Amino acid sequence: MIRVRFAPSPTGNLHIGSVRTALFNYLFARHHGGQFVLRIEDTDLERSRPEYTADILSGLDWLGLASDEPPVYQSSRRELHLEYVEKLLKEGRAYPDPEGSPAVFFRVPADGATVIPDLVKGGIVFQNKDFKDQVIRKSDGSVTYNFAVVLDDALMGITHIIRGEDHISNTPKQIFLYNALGFALPQFAHIPMILGTDRSKLSKRHGATSINEYKKDGFLPEAIVNYLALLGWTPPDGSELMNLTELCQKFDLDRVSKSNSIFDLEKLRWLNAQKLKNLSLEALQSLCPELNTEILKVIKDDLVLLTDAPEKAKIFTLHKIEYTDEQKAELKTASARQVFRELQEKIDSIYNGSIEEQYNKAQELIDSIVKNTGFKKGQVFHPLRVALTAQKSGPGLKFLLVLLGKEKVKERLQNALGC
């Protein structure tokens, strides 16, 4: 049975790069009917914080990447780790610090080579002579990352270690320990890094890195998951728009790229807009409970971020709209005035019947104004839109007329005529 783990250190908020690592583990497990577990590596007592652990847990939950088992806290395994230090000491594979501190050193094989069985990079060969004996217990009595990670991965039955390639230099050291402890070697998959547009490692300088910031900015978890899956992996059928279930079906390590990927915010935004379009109206409504359903329906396809919704809905509810000088000039033309007057005269007639009937009547009214005036469509549509919204583009005019309601339409036409 395939068993993988995501092993974040809670020394910061859940980072977008870590989420990609978690996601690849999750997808690999699901694809093969295996298990995905979470281990919080909270052994650095100075830098670990419970609020970071909370952020990691809630972020994974939000993204739909929850662990199959309750998370394991590495700090709770301290006694176990220390027992294995004693074991290696007893077997002569490790020795105490010659200077008398509580530190313990592990004897690294003096010669030969170590090969990392890596499913992404192929076999990576290291010369053992390039490694010094390793500290496994520090002088403060705590065990080192490389030691704890090997013990935990082996004792938790982890079969595949999928993590960022920045860990490659640790892997031979970990392999020495697997061998010395008599544990079977797992498979490794070191996945490429995520870089900013300037090709340096993705960091704050490139914009938001914490998942919470993306959530606050109005990104959907579906978009983040879809986007991150494509950062360093391509599906066999080349599709771009996939939900988590489809990703689980398609993902495997053989199509993970060997080279680094560049984080492309525009592509993430594009995917977010697609996901918003594909959301059912009910789902969107539950994310924006304060907005009117009919308004949501009309603005839905124009959203890039969820946070655009209240912004775009505003034109329907604003008490007063302000025109720019340039807009005022457009509203003052004789043709615009004629359009506004015609609309003023007949507008009352559209507000009865079902909402669909009202939309139809509104459309007929607009069409009749085009016909009666003999103006080009643009000469009718454009000034009307400006008069009603003070904007260049937005929802169709029939929606504006109906959803603004009689009072607001009249008020705004009056405003426009007063320019």
Type of residue at 150: V
Pick 156 or 304: Cβ nearer ligand GLU = 156
Total site size for ligand GLU, rule CB under 6 A: 7
The two structure tokens encoding residue 111: 């010669």
**Minimum CB–partner distance for residue 63 and ligand GLU (Å):** 17
Question: Cα–Cα distances in Å, from 44 out to 78, 81, 115, 340, 374?
Answer: 12, 15, 29, 69, 76
Type of residue at 393: S
Which of 15, 30, 81, 163 binds ligand GLU (CB under 6 A)? It is: 163
**Minimum CB–partner distance for residue 384 and ligand GLU (Å):** 57
Residues 16-55 that bind ligand GLU (CB under 6 A): 41
Pick 7 or 242: Cβ nearer ligand GLU = 7
**Minimum CB–partner distance for residue 43 and ligand GLU (Å):** 9
Alpha-carbon gap, residue 185 to 172, rounded angstroms? 11
**Minimum CB–partner distance for residue 25 and ligand GLU (Å):** 9
**Minimum CB–partner distance for residue 326 and ligand GLU (Å):** 54
Contact between residue 344 and residue 410 where contact means Cβ atoms under 8 Å apart: yes
Is 194 a binding residue for ligand GLU by CB under 6 A? The answer is no
Going by C-beta distance under 8 Å and a sequence separation of 6 or more, which residues neighbour residue 307?
217, 218
Pick 106 or 340: Cβ nearer ligand GLU = 106
Could you give the residue numbers annotated as active site? 204
Find the DSSP H helices in 5-97.
Answer: 16-31, 50-63, 78-90
Is 7 a binding residue for ligand GLU by CB under 6 A? The answer is yes
Alpha-carbon gap, residue 153 to 166, rounded angstroms? 18
> Running DSSP on this structure, what letter comes out for residue 114?
E
Q: How far apart are the first and last CA of the chain?
A: 74
Pick 9 or 327: Cβ nearer ligand GLU = 9
Which of 107, 121, 138, 167 binds ligand GLU (CB under 6 A)? It is: 167
Q: What are the contacts of 350-353 at 24+ separation with CB within 8 A?
A: 350/401, 350/402, 351/402, 351/405, 351/406
Candidates 37, 13, 17; CA nearest to 25 is 37
**Minimum CB–partner distance for residue 243 and ligand GLU (Å):** 27
The two structure tokens encoding residue 330: 């457009």
Alpha-carbon gap, residue 6 to 72, rounded angstroms? 10
Pick 7 or 400: Cβ nearer ligand GLU = 7
The two structure tokens encoding residue 190: 């070191």
Which of 4, 8, 63, 231 binds ligand GLU (CB under 6 A)? It is: 8
Residues 120-159 that bind ligand GLU (CB under 6 A): 149
Is 72 a binding residue for ligand GLU by CB under 6 A? The answer is no
Pairing of strands 122-127, 194-195: unpaired
Pick 107 or 167: Cβ nearer ligand GLU = 167
Interface with ligand GLU (CB under 6 A) = 7-9, 41, 149, 163, 167
